[in-house]
Structure 1
Amino acid sequence: MAYDEVLADRVRQRLEHADLDAVEKKMFGALCFLDRGNTVAGVSGDDLFVRIDPDDLDDALAQPGARPFEARGRTAGGWVYVAGEVLEDEVLDAWLLAAWDATAELPSK
């Protein structure tokens, strides 16, 4: 599956401006952004997927455009897909901040 280059560029720009040491990696047909070896977010098709603190998952799924992260018929806990059409700048910023916060306490891989 291809990924939306425009959305990927928008994510890149935010990570550069935030002075984060993110690494890009193509995996599973998506472009993923990693911190210390942990996947934080990615772009798959026209959508963004983000890591979410499991305690915040229900609230995250209640947001416009959010849906459970499903792969190969299984729902992955702690992950959310966000529809590209709702990702205005402020919304994208909020999702990326939540993803980085959810990943900050994870050990390096």
Structure 2
Amino acid sequence: MAYDEFLADRARRYLNQKSIYFEEKKMIGGLCFMVDDKMCFGMHIDKHTDSSLLMARIGIDKYEEALARPHCSEMNFTGRSMKGYVFVSAEGIDTDADLEFWLQMCIDFNPMAKKSKKRAAKRK
């Protein structure tokens, strides 16, 4: 699982400064930050460019507005875009102010996000 540890540290620092309880899970080929048991945002290394990507869960209401911002694109893992989720390239999160903008957008959406259904444990 590849992700930028420096970016992860920056995200941890921001969440800690805001006194937001979070958990980290290695998934989706990178690292996801969970707030209130919901995926809030994540990060991984883009295999095409070998650079960091922030996966931001921002919701449908802010989706078009986010896509109009520089260095932001549709989140697309499987050939279909995931509405309400965007990728932000390394250039879009280079400064602390830029990263904090995106993280705060994810945090603001988190109370409205739905929890994923927990899968039942497989029986042997």
TM-score tier (shorter): over 0.9
How many aligned residue pairs are there?
Answer: 109
Q: Paired residue for 1:56?
A: 62
The structure that is helix-richer by fraction is 1
Alpha-carbon distance between aligned partners in 2 of 1:108 and 1:20, rounded to the nearest angstrom? 18
Which one scores higher on RCO, CA 8 angstroms, separation ≥ 6?
Answer: 1
Return structure 1 stretches of 4+ with deviation > 4 angstroms.
none
Q: Paired residue for 1:99?
A: 106
1:3 partnered with 2:9: no
Return the index of the structure with the highest Cα Rg: 2
The one-letter code matched in structure 1 to 2:3 is Y
Which consecutive unaligned segments of at least 5 residues does structure 1 have? none
Residue 96 of structure 1 and its aligned partner are, at CA, apart by 0.6
Residue 108 of structure 1 and its aligned partner are, at CA, apart by 5.2
Residue 106 of structure 1 and its aligned partner are, at CA, apart by 3.3
TM-score by length of 1: 0.93
The within-5 A match list for 1:1-109 is 1-45=1-45, 46-87=52-93, 88-106=95-113
- Secondary structure in structure 2 of the residue aligned to 1:47: strand
Summarize the Cα distance change of 1:69–1:107 in structure 2 as closer, same or farther, 3 Å threshold: closer
Residue 107 of structure 1 and its aligned partner are, at CA, apart by 5.1
Alpha-carbon distance between aligned partners in 2 of 1:90 and 1:26, rounded to the nearest angstrom? 26
The one-letter code matched in structure 2 to 1:24 is E
Q: What is the RMSD computed on CA atoms of the aligned residues?
A: 1.3
